[in-house]
Amino acid sequence: MLVSEHARRPVTFRRYVAIGDSSTQGIGDPDPNGGWRGWSWRLARRIAAQGSLEYANFATRGRTTREIKDEQLAPALALEPDLVTCFSGTNDVIRPRFDLKGVLADMHQMQRACGATGAVVLTFTLPDLTPLLPVARPIASRIKALNAGTRRVCAETGTLLVDFDALPAVATDPRHWTHDRCHANAAGHELIADALAEALRLPGSSGTWREPLPSLPPVHPWQRLAGEVSWLRRHVLPWMWVRVTHGWTPVRDPARVVVLTRVEPA
């Protein structure tokens, strides 16, 4: 199942809020002014094409599911949105201790709270990153368990779910990811926005995002090795140095001042 069976008839939204971590914040999809756009902004522009839309993005890099619930949920709901996207879990599965039961309980609570206001709630699964990121193999079982739990929670709460995990050839295509292989690039954020737009049945949306890109030409083993070495030098070694010198201190942006903005259509 790629899009939740709870999909509703097309509706017009007037106020959309996004809560989450670096993915929702838009890391990897820079705007010309030095900030981030991301899939939530791209989705907001698609929705705005149907009428006036106010949008606020509370997502902040480094946040776990519990932190999103504690820091972002209440102020987001105070804006009385009729659409909420709520994606989390990445910063939970990469931690030394992964509390799956606690993560799913927090996820359930957030989805229930959002849905209780009458808002449409939308989320998606995290694909297994092993094909893109071989060092992620040790957490593959965590991602699998998280996705299975996410599907159960969404079925219980009526949350719309886009199951990217069911399309690994699309979700883990390196052309959709930044050089760090942990954040989607502009094309990846565009793909996520396309998929969520279809889940909402926005006019003009379609399932073309499911179609894999043309196959990449063969890469010489030495070129592949050079790419891996470059990635290790630029991303893995600095990360390991921080872990050794400062312990487990994931990159975290401070909580942001969030205001509603009126979105111009795409």
Q: Residue 265 domain-assigned? A: no
Q: Which residues pair with 15 in a beta bridge?
A: 54
β-pairing, 120-124 vs 54-57, is unpaired
Q: pLDDT-based confidence at 5, cuts 50/70/90?
A: very low
Distance CA 79, CA 187 (A): 30
Q: What is the residue range of 163's domain? A: 15-211
What is the model's pLDDT at position 12?
85
Residues 146-189: tens digit of each pLDDT: 999 999 999 999 999 999 999 998 999 989 988 876 789 999 99
What is the model's pLDDT at position 141?
95
Q: pLDDT-based confidence at 96, cuts 50/70/90?
A: confident
Residues 73-89: tens digit of each pLDDT: 999 999 999 999 999 99
Rg (CA), the chain: 18
Q: Residue 248 domain-assigned? A: no
Return the closest-CA partner of residue 60 out of 21, 17, 87: 21
What is the model's pLDDT at position 214?
87
Q: How many structural domains are present in the chain?
A: 1
Q: For the domain that residue 104 is a member of, what is the CATH number?
A: 3.40.50.1110
Q: What is the pTM of this model?
A: 0.86
Q: Residue 35 domain-assigned? A: yes
Q: Is 2 helix (H, G, I), strand (E, B) or coil?
A: coil
Return the closest-CA partner of residue 208 out of 224, 197, 222, 217: 197
Q: Residue 252 domain-assigned? A: no
Q: Residue 41 domain-assigned? A: yes
Q: Which helix (DSSP H) or strand (DSSP E) does residue 188 occupy?
A: helix 186-199
Whether 1 shows a pLDDT value over 50: the answer reads no
Residues 6+ apart with CB under 8 A from 252: 60, 61, 62, 63
